[in-house]
Chains A and B, each alone.
Chain A
Amino acid sequence: MKDVDALIGTRPVTGGHPWRRGLAHGLLIAASIGMLYPVLWMLASSLRPEAEIFTNFSIWPASFDLRAYGEGWTALKVSFTRFFLNSAFVASAAVIGNVLACSLAAFAFARLNFRFKRVWFALMLGTLMLPYHVTLIPQYVLFLHLGWVDTFFPLIVPKFLAVDAFFIFLMVQFFRTIPRELDEAAMMDGCGPFGIYWRVILPLSKPVLATAAIFSFIWTWDDFFGPLIYLNDMTHYTVPLALRSFIDSTGRSEWGPLFAMSILSLVPVFAVFLFFQRLIIQGIAMSGLKG
């Protein structure tokens, strides 16, 4: 973990003039408040009576009016309970699929010798460059013929087939740092490749598995394009898609409930960030994962 600390750890607090440090802190605090102001204002507005939203710039929720949340939750034909359950299901399945399928492939690339390994590895890296727009339409046609349009399958099955190859790459990098002596020791004890994968490599790879899981979750939870294309019936909507319908269905007088639901849609991603901040920052710093 030492090289990680070198990348994202803190520098020793240096001396310097107190007034210069004070100035830097002042600037940073002002800048971060400015950055977060819109989000905080949305949060505060969601807790205000509708009439106040447009006239109140404060980010301090003086009133604590939860009416907008109640209204928003049931504003569409289908309640947000359904949308959150759908989103949670798709996101959890994507997490499981990505972690499982990518770690299996990564184990083969990092630990096993087999014919055409270099070719497959190069092809796998090649898919990283491919924008998903290229495969979009044939995939849609395929899923249409399978009768999968308007189901969750098109959003989930690709994850179980390790289509997000970036995670394979990430895991290969990590698996390679695990000493091979451990594999050999396990082999002496009678472990086959699957035993080594399951009992040696996976338990020692929790950080990279967690990173893959976290980013899979955030990306799937926020994904708008996939659900937009594949989900038609409102009972199948995920939260982002429901928010979009909400915009279309409301006039300009109903920002409160829309804000309330928007805030709720951000909560899971934000919670994941609070708990796994270090892993997220590390994932970005070390591999440029899109946050």
Chain B
Amino acid sequence: MTTVALPQTRSEPAPRRRRLNAQDGAAYLFLAPWLLGFFVLTLGPTVASLYLSFTNFDLLQAPRWAGLDNYWHMFAEDKRFRNALSVTFWYVLLAVPLELLFALAIALVLDKGLRGLTFYRALFYIPSLLGGSVAIAVLWRQIFGYDGLVNEGLSVFGIDGPSWISNPQYSLYTLVLLRVWQFGSPMVIFLAGLRQIPQELYEAAAIDGAGPIAKFFRITLPLLAPVIFFNLVLQTINSFKAFTPAFIVSGGSGGPIDSTLFYTLYLYQEAFAYFRMGYASALAWVLLSIIAIFTAASFLSSKYWVYYGDEGR
């Protein structure tokens, strides 16, 4: 009996496997648009751009192999590259922590069970919604211009303010401010994170006599660490890629005297103003490496300061 029964049970997977194979065709039909895009617009260009980064290429003539020249020029000779790196790093270093600090502070206040949470959250989110647009960059140009809103305000107190956007000492800070102003979107993420912290922990801590400060440092902060980490990585990558505000506020130049020459803006100029496409490709690969190194470093360091709730359980 068993010998008769065996083939039957064995034969059962066979039609299923055949069905799986039949699904291959359908599946690849569903995937076709993405596959085409992946090869033609992502993988192909990625390989091509790596190749171009080792060439001189001006769009008119075929790329000419240049070996490591582009990278050599970049790291050894190009002062604008070094400047763009430093401007971008300063921007990220100032804007991201400040942005996250504001986001966390307001999220903590909002999480206290106040009436009107949805309303406040929407209000605080609006700058994030609009902030990346050209329109807001236009507004920033006016506000921090010589006869702009800020200086009109200062003149009430008899202070004659400089033109903030055309003074290399201050221009970058106006962009930092624009970024920090958009703290609403990390705030929304913080709020969601705070929601995950069980209320019982606070109640238990209160019974043990913990004050608000102890509760914050012993419960909120450690349990929120994964969310802080997520926000940090996300906002840092986004800040590295910032382009529109610097372009609009500086009129496309990255000026005054390159003080707002964001990395992406420099890349844009090299590629589409000077048509040094090979060099711009090399710049893109360096940007990719910076983002990759930063992300990897955050992940590697995260195990020392990010506590994921399920580890001990």
Q: Which residues of A contact B (CB under 8 A)?
A: 6-14, 16, 21, 24-25, 27-28, 31-32, 35-36, 38-39, 41-42, 54-55, 57, 100-102, 104-105, 107-108, 112-115, 117, 120, 123-124, 127, 129-131, 133-142, 144, 158, 160-163, 165, 168, 192-194, 197, 218, 222, 224-225, 228-229, 239-241, 243-244, 247-248, 252, 255, 258-259, 262-263, 265-266, 269-270, 273, 277, 280-281, 284-286, 288, 290-291
Contacts and interface: CB of A to CB of B under 8 A. Distances in A.
A266 B285 CA distance: 34
A39 B135 CA distance: 10
B164 to A, nearest CB: 14
Interface string B88-123: 000000000000000000100111111111101111
Contact of B138 (A24, A57, A247): A247
B133 A273 contact: no
Given A104-B30, A252-B147, A139 B41 contact: yes
Interface of A is mostly: helix
Q: Among the interface residues A39, A41, A107, which one has the most CB atoms of the partner chain B within 10 A?
A: A39
A52 to B, nearest CB: 11
A36 B127 contact: yes
Contacts of A270: 126, 129-130
Interface string B5-31: 000000000000000100110111011
B248 A131 contact: no
A129 B295 contact: yes
Nearest to B35: A120
A273 B129 contact: yes
Contact of B185 (A6, A144, A259, A290): A290
B122 to A, nearest CB: 6
A269 B188 contact: no
B24 A115 contact: yes
A21 B110 CA distance: 11
A58 to B, nearest CB: 12
A7 B112 CA distance: 14
Contact of B26 (A39, A112, A266, A281): A112
B292 to A, nearest CB: 7
Given A35-B123, A114-B23, A266-B130, A101 B33 contact: yes
A224 B251 contact: no
A248 B23 contact: no
Contact of A134 (B30, B46, B109, B237): B46
Nearest to A290: B238
Contact of A35 (B23, B148, B181): B181
B272 A269 contact: no
A224 to B, nearest CB: 5
Contacts of A114: 20, 23-24, 27-28, 31
A134 B49 contact: yes
Interface stretch (B67-75, B214-222, B276-284, B305-313): B276-284
Contacts of A168: 34
Contact of B34 (A112, A141, A161): A161
22 contacts: A38-B149, A112-B27, A114-B28, A114-B31, A129-B295, A130-B42, A131-B284, A133-B283, A134-B288, A135-B49, A137-B281, A138-B44, A158-B41, A168-B34, A193-B23, A247-B138, A258-B138, A259-B138, A281-B188, A284-B188, A285-B188, A285-B189
A73 B24 CA distance: 54
